[in-house]
């Protein structure tokens, strides 16, 4: 597949950002229930990785999955309806934000590191040259699941690319409060697998690094680990107030590179504004459809919608 242009990358990042900006508004306005971990700051990693996937490849996600699913082609309307707890949602309103399932992005989970061994199992049956991508946060690296999965994947030369979204944050604490290991790539060296570190806010660098690793993984030479340094531009979960200041913003980085290439800032910002408007229309239309909320919806919101 041809590599998308920087403008295409920027558009994809903008659409994910716009979707989540509206999700944040919807949560604040009590339209969307549940526990939401937004992926703002990680979009370039999702887009860079997923743009390098091929038809038969599959992806396993984490508790911060919206960007992964949207980049993998999940219909934004069915995702929005899912977040609203609607019967018309991607998983009939039963999954909410954290337990999404679809075809290409196979599943997400609220259990940190929980999809890693499942991704490994899937990779053992995926037809060549297909690969499986397992995306997780730096908090998962301190779980037993991470170590067991990397061990078996290396031993079995499984076609998995492990992608760590390293925001140096595990809920409310920093990485150094959890571990003495500074460089996560060191784990790939231990298991004699390929490993790379990349600026996860730079979509072109992510796409380049991922596709280089994936090329060999497709040839069944063994798994690989890509560590992407990303930002967390929202609190750990919506509703919390602690926001990291001064973090790098992949959308801004992408836009300023495009400006250097001759695009105007106003053109890029108005394109983003249109994406926000489209996402708002999506949320409004999902709310207006008047679908029955699913039984697993937030109880207070169910009652609010059902009672006069
Ligand atoms: C096995 C497990 N332990 C603890 C938690 C509680 N928990 C939810 S998110 C989170 C932090 C995860 O950090 P990281 O993997 O770095 O992802 P990030 O939130 O930074 O994207 C924790 C500890 C959990 N969901 N699952
Ligand atoms: Mg983290």
Counting from 1 in the atom list of ligand 1, the atom nearest the Cα of 138 is: 16
pLDDT for residue 305 is more than 90: no
Q: 137 CB under 6 A from ligand 1? A: yes
pLDDT in tens, 224-280: 999 999 999 999 999 998 887 778 999 999 999 999 999 999 999 999 999 999 999
User: Is the minimum distance from the CB of 175 to ligand 1 under 6 angstroms?
Assistant: no
Count Cβ atoms below 10 Å from residue 83 Cβ, excluding itself. Answer: 27
Task: Kindly report the protein residue whose alpha carbon is nearest to atom 25 of ligand 1.
Answer: 111
Residue 135 in any domain: the answer is yes
pLDDT above 60 for 307: no
- Residue 159 domain flag: yes
Q: Which has the closest alpha carbon to 175: 137, 202, 146, 144?
A: 137
Domain that holds residue 105: 6-306
Question: Is the residue at 16 inside a domain?
Answer: yes
Quick check: is 187 in a domain? yes
Q: Is the pLDDT of residue 306 over 70?
A: no
Q: Tell me: pLDDT of 297 over 60.
A: no
Q: What is the CA(64)–ligand 1 centre distance, in A?
A: 9
Say whether pLDDT at 156 is over 90.
yes
- Tell me if 45 is assigned to some domain: yes
State the CATH number of the domain containing residue 149.
Answer: 3.40.50.970
Number of domains making up the chain: 1
Reported pTM: 0.94
pLDDT of residue 126: 97
Does the residue 50 lie in any domain? yes
Kindly indicate the confidence band of residue 294, based on its pLDDT and cuts at 50, 70 and 90.
Answer: low
**Is 1 contained in some domain?**
no
């Amino acid at each position: 597949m041809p590599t998308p242009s920087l403008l295409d990358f920027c558009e994809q990042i903008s659409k994910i950002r716009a979707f989540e900006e509206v999700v944040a508004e919807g949560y604040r306005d009590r339209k969307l229930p549940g526990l939401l971990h937004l992926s703002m700051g990680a979009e370039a990693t999702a887009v860079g990785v997923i743009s390098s996937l091929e038809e038969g490849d599959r992806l396993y996600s984490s508790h911060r999955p919206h960007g992964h699913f949207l980049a993998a082609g999940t219909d934004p309307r069915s995702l929005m309806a899912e977040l609203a707890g609607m019967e018309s949602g991607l998983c009939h309103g039963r999954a909410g934000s954290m337990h999404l399932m679809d075809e290409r992005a196979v599943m997400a989970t609220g259990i940190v590191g929980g999809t890693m061994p499942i991704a490994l199992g899937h990779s053992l049956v995926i037809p060549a040259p297909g690969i499986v991508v397992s995306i997780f946060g730096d908090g998962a690296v301190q779980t037993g699941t991470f170590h067991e999965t990397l061990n078996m994947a290396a031993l079995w030369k499984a076609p998995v690319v492990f992608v760590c979204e390293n925001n140096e944050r595990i809920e409310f604490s920093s990485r150094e409060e959890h571990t003495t290991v500074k460089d996560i790539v060191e784990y790939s060296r231990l298991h004699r697998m390929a490993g790379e570190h990349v600026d996860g806010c730079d979509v072109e660098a992510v796409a380049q690094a991922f596709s280089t690793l994936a090329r060999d993984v497709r040839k069944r030479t063994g798994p690989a680990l890509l560590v992407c340094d990303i930002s967390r531009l929202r609190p750990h979960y919506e509703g919390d107030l602690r926001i990291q200041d001064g973090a790098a913003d992949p959308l801004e980085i992408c836009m300023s590179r495009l400006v250097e290439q001759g695009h105007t800032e106003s053109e890029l910002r108005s394109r983003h504004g249109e994406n926000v408007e489209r996402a708002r229309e999506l949320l409004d239309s999902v709310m207006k459809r008047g679908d029955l909320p699913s039984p697993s919806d937030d109880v207070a919101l169910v009652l609010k919608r059902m009672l006069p």
